[in-house]
Structure 1
Amino acid sequence: MDRRLTLYILIGMVLGVIVGQVLYTQVDGAVVKDQVVPWLKLLSDIFLNLIKMLVAPLVLSTIVVGIAHMGDSSALGRIGFRAITWFILASLISIGLGLVMVNLFQPGVGAPIPDAAAATAAVGEIKELKATEFILSIFPKNAIEALATNNILQILVFSLFAGVALSAIGEKGAALVRGADALAEMMLQVTGYVMRYAPIAVFAAIAKVVAVSGLAILETYLELLFEFYLSLILLWVILLTVGAIFLRERIWTLIKYIRQPLMIAFSTASSEAALPKMFEQLDRFGVPRRISGFILPLGYSFNLDGSMMYMSFATIFIAQAYGIDLSISTQVMILLTLMISSKGIAAVPRASLVVITGTLAMFGLPVEGVAIILAIDQFLDMGRTATNVVGNAVATSVITKWEGMLEVEEPEFVEHPHARAHTAADGRAGLDLDPSNFEDKR
């Protein structure tokens, strides 16, 4: 279904360009504006409303379930602490680099986005929050109000308290945990239904943009793609250089071993598809399964370096495209919000769009920009998914070396028959290491 959806989105994009260009060149401008464009806008706005509908229950259910399922805190221990520390630093590097690069390149400035003036007027001047005001705004005074207004940071705080409390009360809270788990599964299913509407939304969004602005918007897309991938390459260099400090010459061996899961992730834009091969290759590289079985799934929820950079680019790009001037302090607050809120719903396909939508709404920015980004999201997704794989491979290997547990690598062509034995042995330690249980991590 995912590959067909990608094909349908591409078809919708092409048809949108064709229909939009026909309207732009052959139909009177007033007619386009007054009769055709509003209907195209309606089709894309329906998708935006559906995306916004997902935010609150998705964040609440996935965070509560994730924390509650951690269970015994001793499963984290020293390795967990080091892993979380690495993940936080890597996320800060990724999102900080994204902020620098998007401000350096400014891909959205001058982009021919329709209704930019109207959006800017509607948004008005972005309020500058003091640090104390921003911190206070994180903590909800009413959990129901936070859910109703899609305030994702406040939902996150409430979900953290709820998840920790359910984990603490154990069996008494089992029914609520199962309910939250069922809600998370339901929202995953609903997300799949909503994404089936994406090709129509892409068609409408592209047709509307091209009908009003012409084919100039395609230059903006190409510029965004080029600058985003250039930034990802720079991030790869940083991650691998830091990895080389710990692994020394074995960093080259790691690169050789992960090339297969890397290509799987890039070609399918799916972390889930690459995960089984990643386990196998890290086994061969010398990472014990009891380490990779803990750090990899944790990293696939908390160490999404490519997704961090993508959300930096997409959010600031939308603000730039609509001519909204954001101070550096406001951008930092937005990106910290993205970094924190994205941790909860990493297992949801195309979760980045949901997080971006919620953050745009929280800061009063035009959520209509998500429809524009959606048109090339698949191409951006391929790069960010591959980057997530690189980041987690480096993190797992470095932490293993840090613990003094990195073993001698095996030849890549040798079959690895004891991988399942590792899984079974480590499973007795209380960790769920079955790769089939790990969802798509974007």
Structure 2
Amino acid sequence: MKRLYSNLTMQVLTAIALGVLVGALFPTFGAALKPVADTFINLIKMLIAPIIFLTVVLGIAGMGSLKKVGRVGGKALLYFEIVTTLALGLGILVANLTKPGAGVQAVAQAVLRDGKKVEEAAKFTSQAGEMNWVEFFTHIVPGNVVEAFAKGDILQVLLFAVLFGLALNRMGKMAEPLVKTFDRLSHAMFGVLALVMKLAPLGAFGGMAFTIGKYGIATLLPLGKLMLVVYATMFLFIFVVLNLIMRYYKLRLWPYLTFIKEEILLVLGTSSSESALPRMIDKMERYGCSRSVAGLVIPTGYSFNLDGTSIYLSIAVIFLAQAFNIPLSLSQQLSLIAILVVTSKGAAGVTGSGFIVLASTLAATKIIPVESVALLLGVDRFMSEARAITNVIGNGIATLVVAKSEGEFNEARHQLALQGRSVPENERPEPVAELPLVGVCHE
């Protein structure tokens, strides 16, 4: 029993259940616990920039061929575009079949009459007006590297890490002392992460208590069908689309989900996919992917492979059109997919990015009033967990696909992970048949 409660999965599950209970019974107190969740997420964010930098630099420096670096990056981006487009298409298809916006016209009109909610929506609209794909690409290049690390801008840190890694790669043996130092720093950073993760139950408790305490279960009822459709579509995407992709590469979905269950629960409790980012790099390495592939694909995927966000955006657009009785032709819906492919990349890493992307898409199409996003304010927090969990699962699978296609997948390490005895890449196991039963690093 003691061993069961010392397990991080059980601790986070218990914390989530207690958070729901506290939020429902003591809503004022629950809403006041937001700083607890925010502090934990900040502890994780504190480590994201250095971990991404060190992992990407070490990965590229150790790849050998620069052509290989370009090939891995190219495959990852191609996969991201194909899968996110599939996610957008699936969202629009399901929204058209289920019609979640039908029957909520009265609620929609009441929301637009609520000045406070429209004012909140206007805030996102103004931010959307400032966000476009040209600014997104120019923003990738930092004006100051130190500032990029200080702000924790993932894309800017990633670009600098890629360039730094390429430079070390070209230096050859001269770079070896620095690479060894970076490797030691990387181990130290993951050691700090292990310490921070001991506070994960506290962060999950605070996040869930805040969500239930502030928004309340009752706020879900008018838009319950929309939530049901969003969750069902993401379930369908994971267990059908992503499952088929994994089967094609001779991998199984359920063992993979079991392996990353702690990260999934952490995201569920905190509503932040960033809280799992550093751990996912380590987990995918332990699951069989090479450090170089995991270190490059996972951080890039957090900006370019947002499957859950794509599904939510496509359903939300159709939902708003139905709620405000605005018929959309097939060509209009196809144009929405095309615009979402671009705009879904344009607010990566921005707080409230789901609303910003949605508002910028509506502003670009000029078919649905931008202020209509106010209708989603009450339930968005409850759908953010589904978005974040789907994003995390999708990024891990993208890493597996790229690693498999590049021959950068260690089957012996993978089998150890399936047995619950995972080891990092630098502790290379012998072939599975010859593995000893003792002396293996347990997680």
**Which TM-score applies when normalising by structure 2?**
0.58
SS in 1 for 2:416: coil
| Matching residue of 1:81 | 74
Residues 80-119 of structure 1: matches in 2 within 5 Å?
80-113=73-106, 116=109
CA contact (8 A) 1:286 1:407 kept: yes
- 1:387 Cα deviation from its structure 2 partner: 0.7
Given the superposition, is the C-alpha separation of residues 358 and 78 from structure 1 closer, same or farther in structure 2, using an over 3 Å criterion? Answer: same
**Whole-angstrom distance in 2 between the partners of 1:77 and 1:394:** 20
Q: Which residue of structure 2 aligns with residue 411 of structure 1?
A: 416
Residue pair 1:243, 1:251 contacting (<8 A) in 2 also: yes
Alignment partner of 1:387 out of 369, 390, 408: 390
Return the letter of the residue paired with 2:231.
Y
Give the whole-Å Cα distance in 2 for the aligned partners of 1:279 and 1:420: 16
- Report how far residue 370 of structure 1 moved: 1.8
For residues 108-137 of structure 1, give each alpha carbon's deviation from its aligned partner in whole angstroms, at most 9, with x where no partner exists. Answer: 122134574998xxxxxxxxxxxxxxxxxx
RMSD of aligned alpha carbons: 4.2
In the TM superposition, 1:313-332 aligns within 5 A as 313-332=315-334
User: Contact 1:102 / 1:317 at 8 angstroms: preserved in 2?
Assistant: yes
Distance across 2 between alignment mates of 1:179 and 1:284? 32
Mapped to 2, the partners of 1:382 and 1:149 lie a distance apart of 23
How far apart are residue 243 of structure 1 and its match? 1.5
CA deviation string 1:98-117 (max 9, x = no partner):
01011111111221345749
Alignment partner, residue 404 of structure 2: 401
Name 2:117's counterpart in structure 1: none
Give the corresponding residue for 2:165. Answer: none
Residue 157 (structure 1) aligned with residue 144 (structure 2)? no
Tell me: CA distance 1:159–1:177, structure 2 relative to 1, closer, same or farther (3 Å).
farther
Kindly provide the amino acid, as one letter, of the partner of residue 156 in structure 1: W
2-structure distance, mates of 1:239, 1:415: 23
Measured after TM superposition, the shift of residue 81 of structure 1 is 0.8
Q: Give the structure 1 partner of residue 284 of structure 2.
A: 282
Find the residue that maps to 1:395 and give its secondary structure.
helix
**What letter matches 1:226 in structure 2?**
L
2:302 matched to which residue of 1? Answer: 300
Shift of 1:311: 0.5
Number of residue pairs matched? 304
Residue 312 of structure 2 is matched in structure 1 by 310
Could you tell me which residue of structure 2 aligns to residue 126 of structure 1?
Answer: none
Asked whether the equivalents of residues 280 and 416 of structure 1 are also in contact (C-alpha less than 8 Å), the reply is no
Q: Give the Cα–Cα distance (whole angstroms) in 2 for the partners of residues 302 and 226 of structure 1.
A: 26
Structure 1 residue 314: deviation in Å?
Answer: 1.2
Distance 1:175 1:86, change over 3 A: closer
Alpha-carbon contact 1:306-1:384 (below 8 Å) kept: yes
Look up the equivalent residue of 1:291 and give its one-letter code. Answer: V
TM-score (norm 1): 0.58
SS at match of 1:368: helix
Query: Which of the numbers 233, 242, 245 marks the counterpart of 1:242?
Result: 245
For residues 367 and 178 of structure 1, what CA distance do their matches in structure 2 show?
37
**Structure 1 residue 260: deviation in Å?**
2.4
Partner Cα distance (2:231, 2:251) in 1: 26
CA shift, 1:330, in A, is 1.3
**Structure 1 residue 375: Cα displacement:** 0.7
Per mean C-alpha deviation after superposition, the further-off stretch among 251-260 and 305-314 is 251-260
Q: Is the 8 A contact 1:113 1:322 kept in 2?
A: no
> Partner of 1:228 in structure 2?
230
Check 1:99–1:394 CA distance in 2 against 1; reply closer, same or farther (3 A cut).
Answer: same
Tell me what 2:259 maps to.
257
Indicate how the Cα distance of structure 1 residues 252 and 335 shifts in structure 2: closer, same or farther if over 3 A, else same: same
Structure-2 change in CA distance of 1:183 and 1:358 (3 Å): farther
Are 1:368 and 2:371 matched, yes or no?
yes
SS in 2 for 1:404: coil
The residue number in structure 2 matching 1:22 is none
CA contact (8 A) 2:128 2:357 kept: no
**Structure 1: which 5+ residue stretches go unaligned?**
16-68, 120-146, 167-173, 186-197, 207-214, 422-442
Deviations 1:413-440 (Å, cap 9, x if unpaired)? 446466799xxxxxxxxxxxxxxxxxxx
Is the CA contact (8 Å cut-off) linking 2:246 and 2:253 kept in structure 1?
A: yes
Question: What percent of counterpart residues are identical?
Answer: 31
Judge conservation of contact 2:95–2:315 (CA < 8 Å) in 1: yes
Q: Is the 8 A contact 1:260 1:277 kept in 2?
A: no
Cα deviation, residue 181, structure 1: 8.4
Aligned residue for 1:344, secondary structure, equals coil
Displacement of 1:180 in angstroms is 8.4
What amino acid sits opposite 2:373 in the alignment?
V
Structure 2, gaps ≥5 residues long: 1-15, 29-55, 113-124, 154-209, 429-443
SS of alignment partner, residue 276 of structure 2: helix
Cα distance in 2 for residues equivalent to 1:249 and 1:91: 21
1:272 counterpart residue number: 274
1:175-219 Cα offsets, whole Å, 9 max, x none, are: 47778888997xxxxxxxxxxxx99xx98xx9xxxxxxxx9x954
SS of corresponding position for 1:110: coil
